[in-house]
Amino acid sequence: MTAEPASRPRATNPNATMMAARVHAFGGPEAIRYERMARPVPGPGEVLVRVAAAGFNPSDVGFRNGFMRDVVPVELPFTLGSEASGTVVELGDGASGFGVGDHVVGRVDEGGAAAEYLTAPAGGLVHAPAAIPLAHAAAIPVAGLTAWQGLFEHASLEPGTRILINGAGGGVGMFAVQLARHVGAHVIATAGPRSADRVRGYGAEQIIDYTRASPHEALDHPVDLVFNLVPTPAEATEALCRVVRPGGALVSITVPVKPPAATGVTGTHFVARNDPAQLAGLVALVDSGAMRVDITAARPLAELPAVHRDAEAGRASGKTILIP
Ligand SMILES: NC(=O)c1ccc[n+]([C@@H]2O[C@H](COP(=O)([O-])OP(=O)(O)OC[C@H]3O[C@@H](n4cnc5c(N)ncnc54)[C@H](OP(=O)(O)O)[C@@H]3O)[C@@H](O)[C@H]2O)c1
């Protein structure tokens, strides 16, 4: 992870304003202020994007309450939002690859997506898919890149790999199940009753209802790979290691893993990063019809405090986008 502050000073336009969801002091959902501020100006190599939607991610809660600040230093006030889709409305000096009016999508690790306008390095963005509404594309970058890197960089998923995706009902799970099926893996997924049909629709061949049984109880023979998307307590993480065959792997995006030596299982934890080439690959899959992007809730950006409350209470399922 970067040691640079996530937020950076931005030049602003004294004659134009915008609405943005900002945090002036870390705290509960009430710390989020939906307020008017000066509109940013694109710097060299940057574009100004009129945001169609920002994607909500669980990490936004950590940026709001300050839990993320040891990992990613944040300067206050901080505009929330790590991914967005929208329309290019202005180019900074030397910005290339896009023209005014182009539809783009991208991951912005420095925040700023939860606003009417966003400046971002042009090189970090890609053209949005044409096959889905522009706002829906905001769901792709963080969850899609995390799924891609987990399956293809930190694991070597192949046709026939027997994979358990633990926590497939969320945003990362949506992409992980579809990517794994796309390469011909055999997918077993854990999902609750509210998500089971959706996850089956992504191609999962077996669903384990995690509210009734653990993978350890439900599986009759081991898997080659576990992709863990749930912040499991230590005991549950160890139990996941025990459903993997010796020589197999557990890849986690939540808790660190140290499989017991006797299991012969490799454990990996990683933090995903922006990768425009991989994001373009995800967009191509969406445009070809090989992957769908389900939006379970599209809510006004002004309701962001309520979105945070729902997420923290476990009331949200699937992917939420925020419309400024
Ligand atoms: N390391 C990284 O770079 C990285 C990147 C992205 C996300 N993450 C982390 O990864 C996790 C998942 O992210 P996300 O965006 O997919 O989250 P999300 O959209 O909020 O999904 C959460 C889902 O987890 C499911 N769930 C909760 N408890 C479960 C359990 N005991 N067993 C199985 N499923 C359970 C729920 O599914 P049901 O609807 O089926 O109940 C819920 O929909 C979060 O903790 C997030 O912070 C890490």
Residues 18 and 99 in one domain: yes
Mutational test site, ligand 1, from 210, 251, 312, max ligand atoms within 8 Å of CB: 210
Centre of ligand 1 to C-alpha 16, Å, is 38
**Mean pLDDT for the stretch of residues 274-286:** 98
Q: 107 and 18 share a domain?
A: yes
- pLDDT category at 7 given cuts 50, 70, 90 is low
pLDDT digits (tens, 9 = 90+) for 255-269: 999 999 999 999 999
**pLDDT mean over 143-171:** 97
**What span, in angstroms and rounded, lies between the C-alpha atoms of 159 and 177?**
13
Instruction: Let me know whether 213 and 120 are in one domain.
Output: no
Q: What are phi and psi of 196, to 5 degrees?
A: -55, -45
The encoded tokens of residue 305 equal 């405090």
Average pLDDT, the chain: 96
**Can you tell me the mean pLDDT for 191-217?**
98
CATH of the domain at 36: 3.90.180.10
Provide the pLDDT for residue 2: 40
Residue 3: what pLDDT?
Answer: 44
237 and 314 part of one domain: no
176 CB burial (10 A radius; 0-12, 13-18, 19+): buried
**What is the sign of the dihedral through the CA atoms of 155, 161, 167 and 172?**
positive
For atom 4 of ligand 1, which residue has the closest CA? 253
Domain count along the chain: 2
> Which among 172, 199, 294, 307 is the best mutation to test ligand 1's pocket, defined by most ligand atoms within 8 Å of the CB?
172
* Ligand 1 atom showing the smallest separation from residue 173 Cα: 16
Residue 73 lies in a domain: yes
**150 CA distance to ligand 1 centroid (A)?**
14
Question: Is residue 41 scored above 60 in pLDDT?
Answer: yes
**One domain for residues 111 and 154:** no
Which of 174, 230, 240, 322 to probe ligand 1 with, by most ligand atoms within 8 A of CB?
230
- Domain contains 2: no
**Residue range(s) defining the domain that contains residue 153:** 143-269
Give residue 310's pLDDT. Answer: 98
pLDDT greater than 80 at residue 203: yes
CA nearest neighbour of 214 among 242, 186, 195: 242
Dihedral Cα 242, 149, 78, 170, nearest 10 deg:
-50
List all residues whose CB is within 6 A of at least one atom of ligand 1: 57-59, 142-143, 146, 166-167, 169-173, 190-192, 194-195, 210, 229-231, 253-254, 271-272, 317
- Which atom of ligand 1 is nearest to 146's Cα? 5
pLDDT in tens, 50-88: 999 999 999 999 999 999 988 888 899 999 999 999 999
- CATH code of the domain covering residue 205: 3.40.50.720
Please determine, for residue 15, whether its predicted confidence score (pLDDT) is greater than 90: no
Pair (109, 65) in one structural domain: yes
Q: Are residues 196 and 113 in the same domain?
A: no
Q: Which of 71, 229, 240, 273 to mutate to test the pocket of ligand 1 (most atoms within 8 A of CB)?
A: 229
As a whole-number percent, the residues of the chain with pLDDT over 90 amount to 93
Q: Are residues 55 and 76 in the same domain?
A: yes
- Centre of ligand 1 to C-alpha 229, Å, is 5
Could you tell me if 135 and 56 lie in one domain? yes
Say if 4 falls within a structural domain.
no
Query: Would residue 121 count as lying in a domain?
Result: yes
- Does some domain include residue 261? yes
Q: Which residue has the higher pLDDT, 11 or 173?
A: 173
